[in-house]
Amino acid sequence: MAFEDYKAEIALLMSQIDGDPGDVHEIHMRLHTLLNTLRAEGLPVPDDLRDLEEYLDRQFSTGGGGDRGDA
């Protein structure tokens, strides 16, 4: 997949977070999968998305994730 395709997928994911966060675990897993794919292909991971991934990782590892108020 081309980097532009990844950027479009990231934009879609971010708009879903802004519009209706729905299942935060699902969003976390999709973001994690997308960023791991970028890493595997040697593409750059934007700092803000890496930071978001790390934040969500911490939230879910401590049991603090799950509602929009924690994000």
CA distances from 56 to 14, 53, 68 (A): 14, 5, 11
HEC profile of 29-66 = HHHHHHHHHHHHCCCCCCHHHHHHHHHHHHHHHCCCCC
Domain-wise residue ranges, the chain:
3-64
Residue pointed to by tokens 């935060």: 24
Neighbours of 60 (CB within 10 A): 17
Rounded Cα–Cα distance for residues 8 and 3 (Å) = 9
66 vs 24, residue with greater confidence:
24
12 vs 18, residue with greater confidence:
12
pTM for the model: 0.65
Average pLDDT on 24-33 reads 84
